C-alpha cells in the first residue's frame, strides 16, 4: 500500500508540474507587441473635457442644495439624457446611483419635464441634447422656445384635379 500511495503522489506532482509549465508556455506564446506610447490628448479632447468641467462648476454655482453637487449634476444629466433616448434600463441603474448619493429625485423629474416641454430636437439645429439637458438642469422652469416659423398650410389642389 505505501508504494501505491507514493506512486499516486508522484503522478499528482508530475501532473501539476506539467499543467503549470504548459500554462506558462501558453501565456508566453503569441505575438507580443511592445506597449504603444501614449498619445498626447488632442486639443478637441482637452476642450471637451474643460467644457464638461465648466458646466459642472456652473451648475454648482447656480443651484443650491444637493442638486448642485458635481456627482448629482453628472449623474442627473446622464439619467435625463438616457430617459430622452428611451434607454430606460440604463437610466434606472443610473437613477439608483443618483439616489444612493443623496441627490434629489424631484430635480430629475423637473428637468425631464422641462426637456419634454421644449419639444423634439431638430437634427439640423446646432443645439444638442446635452446642451438642452444642461439648460433644463440649471433652470427646470425654463419656458419652451417658440418655433422660429410656423410651417405654411398645405396648398389646396388645383381645380379639376383630385387628391388621391
pLDDT of residue 46: 82
pLDDT of residue 52: 83
> Does 22 score more than 90 pLDDT?
no
Tell me the average pLDDT across 47-64.
Answer: 85
Residues 6+ apart with CB under 8 A from 66: 72, 101, 102, 103, 104
**Which comes out higher in pLDDT, residue 108 or 35?**
108
SS3 label, residue 108:
helix
Tell me the average pLDDT across 117-128.
Answer: 80
Instruction: Grade residue 39 by pLDDT with cuts at 50, 70 and 90.
Output: low
Residue 24 to residue 22: CA distance in whole angstroms? 5
> Does 3 score more than 70 pLDDT?
no
Instruction: Grade residue 95 by pLDDT with cuts at 50, 70 and 90.
Output: very high
Tell me the average pLDDT across 132-140.
Answer: 93
pTM of the model: 0.60
Q: What angle do CA 31, 38, 42 make, to 5 degrees?
A: 135
pLDDT of residue 50: 85
pLDDT of residue 26: 52
Amino acid at each position: 500500500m505505501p508504494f501505491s500511495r507514493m506512486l499516486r503522489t508522484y503522478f499528482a506532482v508530475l501532473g501539476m508540474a506539467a499543467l503549470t509549465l504548459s500554462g506558462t508556455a501558453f501565456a508566453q506564446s503569441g505575438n507580443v507587441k511592445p506597449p504603444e506610447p501614449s498619445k498626447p490628448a488632442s486639443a478637441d479632447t482637452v476642450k471637451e473635457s474643460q467644457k464638461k468641467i465648466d458646466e459642472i462648476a456652473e451648475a454648482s454655482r447656480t443651484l443650491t442644495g444637493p442638486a448642485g453637487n458635481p456627482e448629482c449634476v453628472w449623474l442627473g444629466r446622464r439619467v435625463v439624457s438616457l430617459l430622452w433616448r428611451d434607454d430606460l434600463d440604463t437610466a434606472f441603474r443610473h437613477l439608483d446611483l443618483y439616489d444612493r448619493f443623496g441627490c434629489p429625485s424631484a430635480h430629475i423629474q423637473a428637468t425631464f419635464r422641462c426637456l419634454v416641454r421644449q419639444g423634439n430636437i431638430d437634427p439640423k439645429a446646432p443645439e444638442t441634447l446635452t446642451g438642452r439637458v444642461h439648460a433644463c438642469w440649471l433652470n427646470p422652469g425654463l419656458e419652451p422656445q417658440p418655433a422660429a416659423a410656423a410651417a405654411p398650410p398645405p396648398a389646396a389642389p388645383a381645380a379639376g384635379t383630385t387628391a388621391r
